Amino acid sequence: MLDERLLRILVCPACRAPLEYKDRRKVLICTGCGHRYEVRDGIPILLPPTAAESDADAADADAADGDVDAGVAED
């Protein structure tokens, strides 16, 4: 069960559209982009869909930068 007042002020972190609570599946569905958010113990887990991917991309970019810097140092 999710607090109706809480649900009313919640928006999708990705597109700012209102969220719809699916009681049977215990998830929040974005009415805008359709992304699904987990609800654990009545607490919505509002992680933007790209959060995990962004972290991975950042790590890759750092590694690439390190290689470039090493090349420049040798010159």
Residue ranges in contact with Zn ion by CB under 5 A: 12, 14-15, 17, 30, 32-33
Q: Work out how close the CB of 49 gets to Zn ion at its nearest, in angstroms, rounded to a whole number.
A: 8
**With b meaning 16 or more CB within 10 Å and e meaning fewer, what string describes 31-42?**
eeeebebebeee
Q: For residues 9 and 68, which CB has a smaller minimum distance to Zn ion in the complex?
A: 9
Choose between 9 and 72: whose C-beta lies nearer to Zn ion: 9
Integer CA distances (angstroms), 22 to 41, 55, 69, in order: 14, 29, 50
- Using Cβ positions, the residue closest to Zn ion within the complex turns out to be 12
The minimum distance between CB 17 and Zn ion, in angstroms, equals 5
